[in-house]
Structure 1
Amino acid sequence: MVTKNTTIHKFKLWFTITLGVLLLFISFIASLSVGAYSIDFSQVLAALFTNDGSKAASIIQTIRLPRAVVGLIIGACLAIAGSIMQSITNNPLASPQIFGVNAGASLMVVIGVVLFPDLAPNTLVYFAFLGAAFGGAVVYYMASTGGGMTPVKLALAGITVHLFLSSLIEGIVLFNETSTEDVLFWLAGGIDGRNWGDVQLLLPWTLAGVLTAMILSKSLTILSLGDDLAKGLGQNIGLIRGASAVLVIILAGVSVAVAGPIGFIGLMIPNIVRSLIGSDYRLVIPISALFGAVLLTGADVISRYIAFPAESPVGIVTALIGAPFFLYLARKGGRSS
């Protein structure tokens, strides 16, 4: 028998998915058309399928299309990483930025650039993985001691570690100005200038991470209900948390390696999605990926108007949106609904 609540839930689910797909299409097309050289809709569609040698087609296929694809992938990665972190910690304030994952990855990438300036980007990814693991482990340890993790303790520990690691980054940049000129812009978080090589770097890690996240999604749903219930249902909590932590390191680490520490996507999107469709992570993960891609791509379009026609880091826009959202959650005591 279909109840009224079931019908309402299905309607909200399909409405949310339809809205996400529509917004994704709009933001993607806007990303291809908006810039110092404006390109109209008909030219965008034509350039997606053929290269007629025109200036518009060349700009789209070599500059804007890879940039938009990178935005879609990284937005999805960060949103999935945030949803996983919020499930395994049962804390809506958990995210790659608050947990020190982004800052740790950034620190190790900067160290790699300074010490080994000739390293290929695919090698710097492993520096990012190592830093993400270090930053996340430190915050988790600090937030878990003395009576267990609470939203307030997590926020305080995360901000403390983030500020400390950021100060180390600033010190490295200050004393190595000649080798870190490009790093300054990268540290603000941006996807401008990304190319098909970055897409190739992102894809294998992203596909592996997304597939594994979907495999774990049922266990993450149970784990989000609490450790006692998860144990009672036969879940191996240690194994799930360990595998989930590796996923977060991969998804957030590769994102930081390519685009810098873009913040707040992993905080905002999972909370918004759960408030719309509930806490079934078989749905939360893919829909978070959808809206994460929408948010980063849309924010990238907005960032082009900040200092038009010059480029501005997309991290500025996500911070302007995300900081009030973080304060809102913190004021509610970490309750997302």
Structure 2
Amino acid sequence: MQLRISPSALILWLSPVAMVLIIIASILYGAKNIDAWTVWKAIVAFDPNDVNHQIVRYSRLPRAIGALLIGALLAISGAIMQGMTRNYLASPSIMGVSDGSVFAITLCMIIQPGASSLEMIMYSLVGSAVAVGFVFWMASVLPYGMSPVRMAIIGTIIGTFFSSISAALSSYFQVSQDVSFWYNARLHQMDPHLIKLAMPFAIAGLAVACMISKSITILSLGEEISVSLGQKTMVIKILAIVSVVILTGISVALAGNISFVGLIIPHMTRFLVGVDYRRIIPCAGVLGAIFLALSDILSRFLNYPFETPIGVVTALIGVPFFLYLIYTRGGGKDA
């Protein structure tokens, strides 16, 4: 009897091993290579006077964990957006959601210069919510606004608007240097304390995403089919938006604006596991985590010994993929 393993099960079973290997590689390699024995000692017998131990404990380990977490959150957020809107171009970066978070963080730095990490997270969540509200409101009032390309254009315009206002405000109030962190997405400045604070929010967002995964599958077939099957589409959409706001807001608060992860990974996941969002959501999380963590490692070697911004690496892959989707899928009025 031949044993068949589904692609989704294979991805989920192999993911722990892949993530452990990625974390090890992320800790070992960089501008300064650190040997495995030193890494082990830094974890089990930390010496605060050893510079290598400090690099491992306070920089590279949080960076690896943060990259995995952010990649998972952005990929799941993108998958939910694409399923809910039936829009193959939807993602947190293209729809302006990430820019809304950065805008809110800019306001936070101006209004509350000494804001705590938790307050920063709350501002980021509010910014995500405002951006999502603007995008869907404009898409609903414009002719064929919900079509893939038009909605992407609306999201890009709103994102550019928030980005421009943020740049103007940060320049006027002289906080440009502080705000630049959230635009350049410097994973090497990952704050371990912020990761701990973000975890409850991330878990809540992931719980909502998993809870509505079956309903998102039905909704992705079309709103008429969803209603005919007795589904409360408005409730599902609200819960989906709440999940997107939380997942995106947390990602931006942790490391800034990282593009294209939420666009690429959901498409890759659907190709591998099918259209059931009960499989897509966990698998997209795993693949998104691996993708961003590998991109982070790659960013250290493109211009060695200097680091390339992680946004450049994701854009090198994401921009051609974005253009490919537009070319192959078109921009008709139907999503």
Whether these two folds match at TM > 0.5 is yes
CA deviations over 1:189-230 (Å, ceiling 9, x no partner): 222121320211221111111112111111111111111111
Residue pair 1:268, 1:322 contacting (<8 A) in 2 also: yes
Report the equivalent of 1:68: 64
1:298/1:56 CA distance change after superposition, 3 Å:
same
Q: How many Å apart are 1:310 and its aligned residue? A: 3.9
Equivalent position to 1:326, from 312, 322, 325: 322
Aligned residue pairs total 329
Report the equivalent of 2:146: 149
| CA distance in structure 2 between the partners assigned to 1:240 and 1:50 by the alignment | 49
| CA distance in structure 1 between the partners assigned to 2:218 and 2:44 by the alignment | 44
Counterpart secondary structure, 2:187 = coil
Identity %: 37
Residue pair 1:93, 1:334 contacting (<8 A) in 2 also: no
Report the equivalent of 2:101: 105
Equivalent position to 2:21, from 26, 33, 52: 26
1:130 aligns with 2:126: yes
Residue pair 1:114, 1:180 contacting (<8 A) in 2 also: no
| CA distance in structure 2 between the partners assigned to 1:131 and 1:116 by the alignment | 15
Report the equivalent of 2:247: 251
Report the equivalent of 1:216: 212
Residue pair 1:262, 1:315 contacting (<8 A) in 2 also: yes
Counterpart secondary structure, 1:192 = helix
Letter in 1 for 2:89: L
1:114 aligns with 2:81: no
| CA distance in structure 2 between the partners assigned to 1:329 and 1:198 by the alignment | 35
Report the equivalent of 1:176: 173
Residue pair 1:92, 1:334 contacting (<8 A) in 2 also: no
Counterpart secondary structure, 2:130 = helix
What are the residue-to-residue correspondences of 1:18-57 with 2, within 5 Å? 20-45=15-40, 47-51=42-46, 55-57=51-53
Gaps spanning 5+ residues in structure 2: where?
none
Letter in 2 for 1:136: V
Q: How many Å apart are 1:48 and its aligned residue? A: 3.8
CA deviations over 1:118-164 (Å, ceiling 9, x no partner): 11121022211221112122222223331351111112112211222
Residue pair 1:90, 1:224 contacting (<8 A) in 2 also: yes
Equivalent position to 1:161, from 158, 163, 169: 158
| CA distance in structure 2 between the partners assigned to 1:163 and 1:220 by the alignment | 29
TM-score scaled by length of structure 1:
0.90
| CA distance in structure 2 between the partners assigned to 1:147 and 1:159 by the alignment | 16
Letter in 2 for 1:171: A
Equivalent position to 1:190, from 186, 190, 194: 186
Residue pair 2:104, 2:124 contacting (<8 A) in 1 also: yes
Counterpart secondary structure, 1:332 = helix
Counterpart secondary structure, 2:329 = coil
Equivalent position to 1:282, from 256, 278, 285: 278
Residue pair 1:151, 1:333 contacting (<8 A) in 2 also: no
Residue pair 2:84, 2:220 contacting (<8 A) in 1 also: yes
Gaps spanning 5+ residues in structure 1: where?
none
Counterpart secondary structure, 2:230 = coil
Q: How many Å apart are 1:270 and its aligned residue? A: 0.7
Residue pair 2:106, 2:166 contacting (<8 A) in 1 also: yes
1:46/1:14 CA distance change after superposition, 3 Å:
farther
| CA distance in structure 1 between the partners assigned to 2:47 and 2:184 by the alignment | 36
Report the equivalent of 1:12: 7
Residue pair 2:96, 2:160 contacting (<8 A) in 1 also: no
1:52/1:128 CA distance change after superposition, 3 Å:
closer
1:46/1:287 CA distance change after superposition, 3 Å:
farther
| CA distance in structure 1 between the partners assigned to 2:47 and 2:120 by the alignment | 37
| CA distance in structure 2 between the partners assigned to 1:312 and 1:190 by the alignment | 10
Counterpart secondary structure, 2:195 = helix
1:307/1:110 CA distance change after superposition, 3 Å:
farther
| CA distance in structure 1 between the partners assigned to 2:294 and 2:30 by the alignment | 13
Report the equivalent of 1:89: 85
